[in-house]
Amino acid sequence: MTQDAKIAIILLLKGLFYKSDNEKAFFELATNSYGAISDYFETIGLEVMVDETDGYAYLKNRVYEEEAEALPKVIRNRELSYKVSLLCMLLRKKIAEFDMQNDSEKAVVTKEDIISLLSLFLDIKFNEVKIKKDIEATIKKVEDLGFLKKLKISSEAYEIKNAIKSFINISYLEDFDKKLQEYREVNLWS
């Protein structure tokens, strides 16, 4: 196994792995060593998911057809808070709109855009400073998940990463739209 393939394995173990993090390792994963890397992870019940078009890869638990073959799950499902789930859904909706309107490579939002998106769901009784801190903490958590990346040109601007599409599909987005309407009506932010 090549050095780049080993690096790809390590980057996959850390979470979402973007081509921009290490182009040589991503190229090695997507082409030459995919079979070997996939076999490596299959032994512990993981599947390698690669999206060459958008340039990212990640691991997920393998789904077994027969219960007798199943291994314990290596990757635990994370339960996201309401705020993080809401922001992820709003970003997924934003990237879908962006894809329909623009030919540019990056979907970019500012911190102010995010605040205005989330403010529709905030109770106006809250302290404005507390709300901003809550939103900043939520943005940081979504960054840690790998769905947002702070741009180097501005500390107030973020790129919405395309990997969010793999985790939140359009049908789920439509269902969530209905739920968001309900939340809007009762100003639920817990």
Where in the chain are the domains? 3-69, 82-186
pLDDT of residue 104: 65
Question: What's the chain's length in residues?
Answer: 190
d(CA 80, CA 95): 20
Query: Mean pLDDT highest for which of 17-26, 113-122, 130-139?
Result: 17-26
Q: Is the pLDDT at 183 greater than 70, yes or no?
A: no
pLDDT of residue 98: 85
pLDDT above 70 as % of the chain: 92
Q: List, for residues 30-45, the tens digit of each pLDDT value.
A: 898 999 999 999 999 9
Contact 21/10 with Cβ under 8 angstroms? no
d(CA 3, CA 106): 30
What average pLDDT does the structure give for the chain? 85
Nearest CA to 142 among 15, 2, 7, 13? 15
Nearest CA to 145 among 64, 49, 79? 79
pLDDT of residue 190: 46
Question: Residue holding tokens 């790809």?
Answer: 8
pLDDT of residue 189: 47
Mean pLDDT within 110-134:
78
Q: Three-state secondary structure along the chain?
A: CCHHHHHHHHHHHHCCEEHHHCHHHHHHHHCCCHHHHHHHHHCCCEEEEEECCCCEEEEEECCCCCHHHCCCCCCCCCCCCHHHHHHHHHHHHHHHHHHHHCCCCCEEEEHHHHHHHHHCCCCCCCCHHHHHHHHHHHHHHHHHHCCEEECCCCCCEEEECCCHHHHCCHHHHHHHHHHHHHHHHHCCCC
pLDDT above 90 as % of the chain: 38
Could you say which of 1.10.3470, 1.10.10, 1.10.760, 1.10.3120 is the CATH number of the domain covering 82-186? 1.10.10
d(CA 16, CA 6): 16
pLDDT of residue 103: 65
Q: Which residue has the higher pLDDT, 177 or 55?
A: 55
Token duo for residue 85: 């789930």
Residue type for position 144: D
Nearest CA to 117 among 184, 43, 33, 164? 184
Q: Is the pLDDT at 79 greater than 50, yes or no?
A: yes
